[in-house]
């Protein structure tokens, strides 16, 4: 651009010098014409010569101005042409430079953007991985806590159902409702509950069982009848033997004192009489030891065993159902403790 401007400036200076030279030449011509005119005047030329000279002078001035205008226009056209070429060249140069700079900036921007995108993606993936691990751990913890809470609730429901079954043993009512509640509260895979419930007697489910107090009351009646036939052997007897046995029970006065349990453990039960077995069974019931009473009543023989057979069956049914209920309660307590671990 500077080179083009310098060239144009030199061209203008050259044209100005040419213009100055032409002006000098014209001035010399004009001086020569004036000098000639002055000489002619001095020689006595007429006024017509002066007019002619004036006319020529004006023509020379007009011609000079026209030539100056033509030169000026040529100079201006040349300058404009040079400026246009210079501007076009400069514009092309700027366009090339801008294209190069644009390509370079675009390459740098794409490289920087690619690096930032890669770093951002890596950071995002690391964040997602960490968050995924946290969410997975939290989900596992929550799932474990939910399962633990469900086991705790299930074990509590099982304990309540088993407690209801145990309480129903003292009401002499059917146990089917309580058994259904226990089955519902137990987990589907709890084989222990299913086995224990399946061992319950249908009679206990449909009718219920006698409580320990009911068995005590019934034992008082059974004991009186059993005492009356305590003297009758295993093969039965005549009316006389029944009468003697009854008379013996009436005349016999109960002077026995409830013996300690330790002494009963050391006794030879095969040598104990029928009456003593009944008395020992009574003492065991007074201690609420139904199992010991059933043990003594099982040793009865003859007519006495037939008299107490119904009571013995009911006592065994009560014991079996009570043991099943206690086993279910213990199982529920164990399940509840395991759910808290």
- Across 260-275, average pLDDT: 60
Is residue 245 over pLDDT 70?
no
Q: What is the pLDDT of residue 11?
A: 76
Cα 316 to Cα 59, 209, 294: the distances in Å are 163, 10, 7
User: Which tens digits make up the pLDDT trace of 90-145?
Assistant: 788 888 888 888 888 898 988 888 888 888 888 888 888 888 888 888 888 878 77
Rounded to the nearest angstrom, the gap between the alpha carbon of residue 66 and the centroid of all alpha carbons in its chain is 99
Query: Rounded to whole angstroms, what are the CA distances from 39 to 45, 47, 61?
Result: 9, 13, 21
pLDDT at position 4 over 80? no
pLDDT in tens, 16-37: 788 788 878 878 887 887 787 7
pLDDT at 257 over 60: no
Using the predicted structure, report yes or no on whether residue 312 has a pLDDT greater than 90: yes
Average pLDDT over all residues of the chain: 79
**pLDDT confidence of residue 324:** 92
185's tokens: 């509260």
Q: Is residue 192 predicted with pLDDT exceeding 80?
A: yes
CA angle 295, 306, 273 (to 5 degrees): 55
Taking the CA atoms of 233, 238, 239 and 240 in sequence, report the sign of the dihedral they define. Answer: negative
Compute the chain's Rg from CA coordinates: 69
- What whole-number distance in Å separates Cα of residue 16 and Cα of residue 137? 94
* Residues 318 and 215: beta-carbon distance below 8 Å: yes
pLDDT of residue 322 exceeding 80: yes
More confident residue, 91 or 210: 210
Length of the chain: 341
């Amino acid at each position: 651009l500077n080179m083009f401007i310098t060239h144009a400036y030199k061209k203008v200076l050259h044209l100005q010098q040419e213009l100055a030279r032409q002006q000098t030449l014209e001035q010399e011509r004009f001086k020569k014409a004036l000098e000639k005119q002055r000489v002619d005047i001095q020689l006595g030329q007429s006024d017509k010569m002066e007019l002619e000279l004036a006319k020529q002078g004006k023509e020379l001035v007009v011609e000079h101005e026209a030539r100056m205008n033509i030169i000026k226009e040529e100079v201006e056209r040349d300058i404009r042409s040079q400026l246009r070429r210079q501007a076009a060249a400069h514009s092309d140069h700027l366009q090339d430079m801008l294209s190069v700079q644009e390509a370079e900036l675009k390459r740098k921007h794409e490289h920087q953007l690619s690096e930032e995108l890669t770093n951002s993606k890596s950071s995002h993936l690391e964040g997602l991985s960490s968050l995924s691990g946290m969410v997975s751990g939290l989900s596992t913890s929550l799932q474990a806590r939910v399962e633990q809470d469900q086991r705790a609730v299930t074990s509590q429901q099982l304990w309540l159902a088993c407690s209801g079954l145990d309480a129903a043993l003292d009401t002499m009512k059917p146990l089917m409702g309580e058994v259904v509640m226990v089955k519902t509260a137990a987990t589907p895979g709890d084989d222990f509950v299913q086995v224990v419930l399946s061992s319950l007697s249908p009679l206990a489910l449909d009718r219920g069982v006698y409580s320990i107090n009911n068995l005590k009351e019934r034992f008082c009646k059974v004991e009186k009848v059993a005492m009356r036939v305590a003297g009758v052997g295993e093969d039965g007897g005549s009316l006389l033997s029944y009468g003697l046995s009854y008379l013996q029970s009436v005349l016999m006065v109960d002077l026995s004192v409830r013996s300690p349990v330790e002494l009963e453990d050391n006794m030879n039960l095969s040598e104990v009489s029928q009456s003593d077995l009944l008395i020992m069974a009574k003492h065991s019931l007074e201690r609420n030891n139904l199992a010991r009473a059933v043990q003594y009543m099982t040793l009865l023989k003859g007519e006495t065993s037939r008299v107490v057979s119904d009571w013995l069956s009911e006592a065994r049914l009560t014991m079996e159902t009570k043991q099943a209920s206690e086993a279910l309660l213990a199982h529920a307590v164990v399940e509840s403790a395991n759910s808290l671990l």
